[in-house]
Every structure is written in structure tokens, then in C-alpha cells.
Amino acid sequence: MSTERKYRSEEWFQIGGLWGFLHRGWMKAEGFSDEVFTKPVIGIANSWSELNNCNAHFRQVADAVKRGVWMAGGFPLEFPTMSLGEPFMKPTTMLYRNLMAMEVEENIRANPMDGVVLLSGCDKTTPAMLMGAASADIPAMMVTGGPMLKGNWRGQELGSCTDCRRFYDELKAGTITDEEFAEIESCVSRSAGHCMVMGTASTMASLVEALGMTLPGCAAIPAPDARRYQLAEATGRRIVEFVKENIRPSDILTRKAFENAIRVNMAIGGSTNAIIHLVAIAGRVGIDLPLSLFDQLSRTTPWIANIKPSGKYLMEDLFYAGGIPAVMKELSPLLHLDALTVTGKTIGENIANARVYNRDLIVPLSEPLGPEGGTVILYGNLAPNGTVLKQTAASQDLLRHRGRAVVFKNEADMMARVDDPNLDVDENCVLVLQNAGPKGAPGMPEWGHLPIPRKLLQRGVRDMVRISDARMSGTAYGTVVLHVSPEAAVGGPLALVRDGDIIELDVPGRRLTLHVPDEELNRRRSEWQPPAPHATRGYVKIFLDHVLQAHEGVDFDFLRAVR
């Protein structure tokens, strides 16, 4: 096949003897002729599933990639992967991100592929595929599935699922009817594709583009738009060349690329979940991203993209405004423009001709929506290893707040009591959820957006300070302190909080303080008992035995790169 270098697939198809006979013969059983064995093999990892509406159009996307691969002289072979559908999987897709990453890695490693195109969409499918491909480290490109079309109800544009939450609170407060809520249900999600606010899926698609792992412009093209299929076809053409150039994820996923991605995350008001995923992806290529780096870059990256849940527009609008290339062009004084990408060119070359077409959506760097990035990192005696808050989606008057703790010991306790009319709570209290972290839940579900007690909703309260070791959906909003590390289930200080303790949140000072004397905390610590493990067998047992804490990316200890 090649006189320049040996391809992996030659070990299957270009060998003699019984195994060469069998490999070729079984491929021919699918109807392929000898002609295909002269071409580089391009795997297409497809996370299509009818149990994942966000990725429901991926068969057509895969067809477009295949077309491109054939055009460029490659041999495309599509294979299925797990699909982590956010709406359905219990207790949380995050429990399975690492399993999917392992599956993708081992599928690539075990099969005759010279390069791979990764089709991802819904939240965890993107980091899982990138983690697996980074560990396998053969030439890889990603095509994300694109956002859904904008929702619309009675003339109001709706974003999934920021507005689902907003209207549910209105329903509980009695300001809309059951009939209206049912009507909205049919109006929010109008097509395949991932959530179309800057939630986790849109954020991860944007960051994968910023990392240089997709063709430029990929993130924001709406899922049903013909240009997404054109981009998929172009990716199919490019991967064949890319394999010949032998550029690997480890060549692209450099420290500079991660710093670019963190800056873009800050500038777009991206999901808090992106911090966990970026730390995990970087860990696969041997790069440490301490939380302090996120805060350092947050302090020096203005917020410039006016997109829900932090702002007002949706991903489809971002596409018309110029997409992530236009955001990066605006941010370019802060970026490493020499970072390599899958085009074979640098980020700087890729965005050279990008333009901003909507100045209300992508504002000038000199006139930002906020002077700092979307997400900040807080430390203190309640979170010695750090905690995360999305300041662009928080209430400005709560960013400095002292309040009395109302503690729920786990999610079941919270659901049983939060709407109890007798719950001793007012709008100045701080709601605390324990045992919702990586080991505690398990899997660190998106329970961090604790519901506002119904009696307070009915009095007009729409936000309160909330603290947990859980995550929060990237589509959610509020003054919500997340990813407290170490988590309660391993004995972190969060486990020691009691009803009535005073907690102080100081976002400008980046502090989270539990005002309880050390002697009292030590006494409580001596009495603390770990919760019973959630499993004694199977995958969940592996998860519990090996999962790392939030500030380490919630990857498995044995999957991080060996230096």
C-alpha cells in the first residue's frame, strides 16, 4: 500500500499465510473486493443510538464521512461505540464516561485502523471519545453532531434545557399552567442534535474545535444543516491525508492547545463540566491541568460570547455570527496561535479569515460582557482541593454571601424534604448536598443544581447559594458551588457540615469558608463514618475502586498516561 511508511492495517491485510488469508477473506465476506486492501483504513467510531436523541442523526453523518474517505482514496469502516444519552441513563452518564473511553481506546487498538473519525454529540460522548483516542494515539479527527434547531413557544425562542428548568420553576411557583407546560414540552427540542444552549455538549464541541481536533467551524453548525454533512465529508477527505502525515492526538493535544481551550471556555461562559473533562483528557497525554491554572486564565480572559445560560443567544445564532473561529479571532491576542490542528495548519492560520457577523453576540474583547471568564475556582476549609462556580450564570448579589446551612445528607434526603412546608429554610440560607460526588452518588451526577424549596419559589425566590460535591448541567444557572473536593463520601470537610453552620461565599476573593472552629471539626471528623459502598461487583465496583476526585478529572487512576 505504501512505500513511505508501514500502516497498521498492513499487519492484517498485507501479510501472507493463514492470517492474511482469513483477514482478507472475512472482509470480502462483506462484499469488498481486493481493491480495498491497497488503501489506508479509516475507522468511523459512531455513537449513534435511538436511546440518545442528541446523536440520532449520526448514521447520515457517518455516510457523509465515508463519502469523503472514499473520495480521498481511503477505506472507511464504521463501528458502533457506547452512546451516553444524557436524558435517559441513570444515575448519570458520568458514571459511564470512563467505560466508553476504555471501549473506544480498545476498539481502536484492537482493530485494523490507520486513522479514526470520532462521531460524538451528547455531553459525555465527546470527552469519552477524545480520552480513548488520545490514549490509543493513532491519527484521529472528531466530528461533533451539532446543536438542535432553536426552540420556539408563542414567539419566544427557547433553549434546551435552560428554559425547561426555568419554566418548571414557574410551574412550581404557579405562574404557568400544566397545559402551558405540556405545550412547551413539544416546542423546546425541534430536531436531532445536542442541547443548543452553551451547555456541556455545546461547550465540549467548542473546546474540541479550540483544541484543534475538528475542522474549523464544526461546533456551531446546527445538526440538520446541510453544511454539517459537507463538513463531515470534508473530514473524511482530510483524515486520509492526515494518516499519511501521521499526525497523532499527542501532537495536537499540547499544553498550548489546552490553554487555548480553557481560554475559549472562559470567553464563551462554558459549562463547569468542561473543567473535569479537560483535566481528564489532558491526563491521557501526560499533561497536568491544576485547577489553579483555570482560575489564572479565568482572571485574564474576558467573557465575550452572549449565549444562554449566561447570556441570551443560542448555538444556531453563534453559527450565523461566525462560530468558534470568530470567537477565537476576537480572542486571538490571548491565544497560542502556533498550536497545531488537524488541518495540518496552526490555529492562527485556521482563523485568519474569520469574521464576526453579530456584534451583540460576539462582543469586542475591548468591551466584554464581563471582565473575567465564566468559571472561577474557589478554595477554603470547605474545599481544600478546590471547587467550581460559574459566575456568569450566578446572581450578582449572591457572589458575596453568608448564610445558615440547610444540609441534605444525600439526594434521596433532599428530594424527600426540600419541598416540605415545615423545612426550616429562608432565602438567605445556604443549601448543602452531601454524598453526591464521584464515589458518593456514585458517578457525580448533575444534582448540584439543588431545587429551590417550593415555598420560597412561591414567594418569588429564584436563586439561592447551593453547595455540593456533585456536578450541574451546563444548561443550568444559579449561584451554585460545585465539584467540592475532596467529596463528602471520602471524608472531605463537606461531610462535616451540620444544619445551622455559617457558610461564607466570597467569589471575588475566591474563598469558600465554613465558620466552625477547627476543634469542633476535628471532633465531628472523629465521629464520621464512610457511607456503605454502592457496589461489590461489576463495573461500578471498578469505578469505586479507581475513580479520582473532581479536581483530578474523575478519570480512573490506571488510565492516566504513564510518564
Strand pairing category for 151-153 and 156-158: antiparallel
- Looking at the DSSP bridge assignments, the partners of residue 44 are 78, 117
Burial of 404: CB neighbours in 10 Å, binned 0-12, 13-18, 19+ = middle
Minimum distance from residue 195 beta carbon to ligand FES (Å): 3
Q: Which is nearer to ligand FES, 144 or 306 (CB)?
A: 144
Q: Which is nearer to ligand FES, 68 or 199 (CB)?
A: 199
* C-alpha 517, offset from chain centre: 37
Q: Which is nearer to ligand FES, 87 or 290 (CB)?
A: 87
The three three-digit cell numbers of residue 135, written as one number: 490514549
Minimum distance from residue 84 beta carbon to ligand FES (Å): 9
Q: Which is nearer to ligand FES, 159 or 217 (CB)?
A: 159
Distance CA 234, CA 490 (A): 48
Q: Which is nearer to ligand FES, 194 or 284 (CB)?
A: 194
Q: Which is nearer to ligand FES, 47 or 235 (CB)?
A: 47
Closest to 238 in 3D by CA, of 139, 346, 337: 139
Taken in order 410, 411, 417, 423, the sign of the CA dihedral is positive
Distance CA 481, CA 329 (A): 31
Q: Which is nearer to ligand FES, 104 or 201 (CB)?
A: 201
The three three-digit cell numbers of residue 353, written as one number: 479569515
Report CA Rg, the chain: 24
The three three-digit cell numbers of residue 500, written as one number: 445551622
Minimum distance from residue 324 beta carbon to ligand FES (Å): 17
Minimum distance from residue 201 beta carbon to ligand FES (Å): 3
Minimum distance from residue 209 beta carbon to ligand FES (Å): 16
Neighbouring C-beta atoms of residue 537, cutoff 10 Å: 7
Q: Which is nearer to ligand FES, 140 or 161 (CB)?
A: 161
Burial 508-518 (b: 16+ CB within 10 A, else e): eebbbbbebee
Q: Which is nearer to ligand FES, 474 or 486 (CB)?
A: 474
Residues whose CB is less than 8 angstroms from the CB of residue 3 and which lie 6 or more positions away in sequence, other chains included:
none
Binding site for ligand FES (CB under 6 A): 54, 86-87, 122-123, 194-195, 199, 201
Strand pairing category for 502-506 and 400-408: antiparallel
CA–CA distances in Å: residue 292 to residues 263, 298, 335, 379: 13, 10, 18, 10
Distance CA 322, CA 300 (A): 23
Minimum distance from residue 124 beta carbon to ligand FES (Å): 9
Minimum distance from residue 318 beta carbon to ligand FES (Å): 15
Query: Which DSSP helix (H) or strand (E) runs through 278?
Result: helix 273-284
Minimum distance from residue 113 beta carbon to ligand FES (Å): 27
Amino acid at position 13, single letter? F
Q: Which is nearer to ligand FES, 85 or 236 (CB)?
A: 85
**Cell numbers 423545612 label which residue?**
423
φ and ψ at residue 23, rounded to 5 degrees? -60, -45
CA–CA distances in Å: residue 12 to residues 32, 37, 106, 139, 288: 15, 10, 17, 18, 36
DSSP 202-222: HHHHHHHHHHT-S-TTTTTS-
Minimum distance from residue 146 beta carbon to ligand FES (Å): 11
Mapped onto helix, strand or coil, the DSSP state of residue 316 is helix
Minimum distance from residue 49 beta carbon to ligand FES (Å): 11
Minimum distance from residue 179 beta carbon to ligand FES (Å): 25
Minimum distance from residue 123 beta carbon to ligand FES (Å): 5
Is the peptide bond preceding residue 91 cis, with omega within 30 degrees of 0? yes
Q: Which is nearer to ligand FES, 69 or 122 (CB)?
A: 122
Q: Which is nearer to ligand FES, 157 or 506 (CB)?
A: 157
